Structure 1
Amino acid sequence: MIFSRGRKQDPVVEFWAWWPTIRPAVTDAISTGGFEPLTPQISKRVAAIHKDLTWEFSKGTDSRHALVVSPGGNPALRAVVARWGALAPAADPDWEFHTARQPDHDTLSATIEIAGAKLDLALLRFAFSRDEDSAAIDVVGHHPLFRKLPEPVRGQITFLALDWLLGEEGVELWIGSVDFSADEPAGARDPLDLAAAVDALREEHREPQWVVFSAEVRGRPVTGIAQRPLRSARWPRFDTHVAVVLPFAGAVAGLPSDEVAEALVAFEDGTLEAALHGNGELLAHETGGGRRTLHFYVDGTSSAGDDLTAAAAGWPGGKATVKRAHDPGLEAVAHLA
């Protein structure tokens, strides 16, 4: 008799197969408050996907209720959560599903208890300024009771308030430095003014924007372009860095002639782009020393990395090289952000 081991079940697929069996009880519990027996079951199913994921129920945006499973700011978990969200059922009048905490402006008018103090969040103010270089907004939070609270609590309140105001993804994408002050900072304004500024910045970047840069490295010119803002939350599924290096001849001070530059662009936009099949994106490239390095990020569970490697071999200007590494936090291009 031949015995075979069954395939290990995909915990994301299992979660969505299980959800309809517990959904009625969860919906009832939201009305009755009887969550206690359900919480361990949900936690177990989420932890099976990854032990460090967080989850919560909240008020929905378009539906009555929302289930949120979040990476909790950990870029290494974004691809996992993105897949969970991609397999979620379509929203309906009762339930919607999110991979990050959504804005909750109602909470900003509530009073919360923290560190033995009662804070009226309606008194919270933000001073903010735009950082043009990084397409982000730098923030300083203030509340009159910050004078009586230790610094870690001030920071906790500031970050919680930003999540409630902008949603987890909004903070990750559009907020730069975050500080907090016991004294009201110059230009402090209502939180909704900050939300409006973030909305305006998001609208400006609705279409992809590229920044051109040039530098000198060891006495040689280097040029390039990079998408902005260069933040991993924009591409949660693309967790693998694929660096494609294309050498070229006839360089002048290490840079390509017009003819070679046209050939590079044609190869990037044609052959390499076609190899992605929607499973990756070019985030930046650098040119200098007789070669162009293209920084692609791809879905590590797809064939995009292999397909890019095969496509790069067709570069007529010399022998292309390809290096691949798991890099959910975009560390390989952090110097270009």
Structure 2
Amino acid sequence: MSSSRKTSGNAPQPADPTQTPAEFTFNQRAAAFWEWFSSVSEELRAIQNDRDSGDIPSIVAPKVDEFLPGMAWVFGPGMGEGFHSFTLSGEGIMCRQILADQWLQRSPGVENWTFHASRQPSGTVKDFTIKVRDLKFRPIEFWVTPEIDEEAEEVDLVLWHPLVAEVEESLCSLALFLVLDELNGEFDTTCWIGSVDFSQKRLAESMPITEIKEFIEEARASRGWKMKSPIDSWVNYSTSAEKRTDGPRKDTIGGTSGCWPVLNSFLRDSDAFEDPFLKLGAAWVYLSFPSSFLPKGNQVDAREDMADLITSALEQHRGGIPLGGAIGDRLAYMDFLIFDGDHSIALIRDAASKAGMPDDTRLEFLDSSKPGVPLFL
């Protein structure tokens, strides 16, 4: 076994927030957004109360692009007369949705405003129209035949729309999921909708899509289905012996992931991989160390015990969250999403030392352009 390190002292303190940051981390971006929104909240509320939202994009879009690029946003009704809501959404893209949830957790609270990290159900969609390129889709034009998948606890859909025979199916699918988000909200759509097939075969059994929300609510209530938040859903994965090689993490036997779409993209082609979290000031990092360091027969639990100590330190300072881990033929891995750059790395280093991790532990970035370093310098 490799030797373990002794504790290295107290956790480092955050940098002085009055100083210009050397890096624009996610924590700094979120703080800057909330400071800006708080300063214009009454102006935005007045515009919304006057029902004249023409100036809203010119006020909001530049700031979202500056602080949280790539995120979608929308205003909506609040909890009472004269109250409003603001939604920031990753539009179903897992990595962005994780950060939207973290953005919401950092809300300082703004008087007269409610905030959401995913698109909420619309009050009514009777006259709603979705535009996709030059095409217009109305909810009442979608007819759906639902079929319950008891094992997956989902509802599969067979759909028909007048434009299906005229345009590519991908456009109809895009419009469909925008409509479902309006009807059910983003999380409910992600959680409860399974496979989707456009076909006329079951048109005689179909119902207007506006009735699907009630159908899903009855199905899940009668069967006791529990809501599974997409950002709290973990994937187990494994690699067969013949596919394990000497590339980055190619020795992996099996593991878990809290953001499988991103990790899967890395595992397919690590040389070309670009970390999508970097654009928003976050980063996927992982610790690697010899798997021989872990006690035989108890490798997974031992790794998770050390990872829990690191996670606790990160979460205490809002420095990051766990994203899983893996056991390989040669190395073991712990995955984290960090929100505060060098400060988060310092938290990991200090907690890893206290957890007794081996001297030859390395900190690696998932992004191919960022070189890894020994964790204990």
- Give the TM-score normalised by the residue count of structure 1: 0.66
Equivalent in the alignment of 1:163: 181
Equivalent in the alignment of 1:68: 87
Q: Distance in 1 between matches of 2:143 and 2:203?
A: 12
1:258 aligns with 2:287: no
Q: Distance in 2 between matches of 1:250 and 1:95?
A: 51
Contact conserved, 2:157 with 2:196, CA < 8 A, in 1? yes
Corresponding pairs, count: 307
**Which AA in structure 1 matches 2:47?**
V
Q: Distance in 2 between matches of 1:287 and 1:35?
A: 53
Shift of 1:104: 1.6
Shift of 1:186: 9.7
1:143 aligns with 2:186: no
Contact conserved, 1:248 with 1:317, CA < 8 A, in 2? no
Q: Distance in 1 between matches of 2:138 and 2:291?
A: 62
Shift of 1:156: 3.6
Aligned match for 1:218, one of 239, 242, 264: 242
Q: Distance in 1 between matches of 2:236 and 2:96?
A: 30
Change (3 A) 1:261 1:68: closer
Equivalent in the alignment of 1:41: 59
SS, match of residue 54 in structure 2 = coil
Higher relative contact order (CA 8 A, sep 6+): 2
Q: Distance in 2 between matches of 1:303 and 1:291?
A: 26
Change (3 A) 1:305 1:75: farther
Contact conserved, 1:110 with 1:122, CA < 8 A, in 2? no
1:100 aligns with 2:118: yes
Gap regions ≥5 residues in structure 1 = 1-5, 328-337
Q: Distance in 2 between matches of 1:65 and 1:307?
A: 38
Q: Distance in 1 between matches of 2:103 and 2:229?
A: 26
Contact conserved, 1:112 with 1:121, CA < 8 A, in 2? no
Shift of 1:102: 0.9
**Which AA in structure 2 matches 1:85?**
L
Equivalent in the alignment of 1:330: none
Q: Equivalent residues in 2 for 1:289-300 (5 A)?
A: 289-300=329-340
- Give the TM-score normalised by the residue count of structure 2: 0.61
**What is the CA deviation profile of residues 283-303 of structure 1, one whole-angstrom value per residue up to 9, with x for unaligned ones?**
322213243212222324473
Q: Report % sequence identity.
A: 18
Equivalent in the alignment of 2:287: 244
Q: Equivalent residues in 2 for 1:1-337 (5 A)?
A: 11-30=32-51, 34-50=52-68, 52-60=70-78, 64-73=83-92, 78=97, 81-82=100-101, 85-88=104-107, 90=109, 94-104=112-122, 106-107=124-125, 109-110=126-127, 112=129, 119=138, 121=140, 124-127=143-146, 130=149, 137=154, 139-140=156-157, 142-147=159-164, 149-151=166-168, 153-172=171-190, 175=193, 178-184=196-202, 190-192=211-213, 193-194=215-216, 202-203=226-227, 215-218=239-242, 223-226=253-256, 230=260, 239-249=282-292, 257-258=296-297, 263-269=302-308, 271-278=309-316, 279-301=319-341, 303-313=343-353, 315=356, 319-325=360-366
Q: Distance in 1 between matches of 2:331 and 2:191?
A: 31
SS, match of residue 257 in structure 1 = coil
Q: Distance in 2 between matches of 1:25 and 1:306?
A: 44
SS, match of residue 53 in structure 2 = coil
Q: Distance in 1 between matches of 2:199 and 2:331?
A: 48
Contact conserved, 1:128 with 1:139, CA < 8 A, in 2? yes
Change (3 A) 1:263 1:184: closer
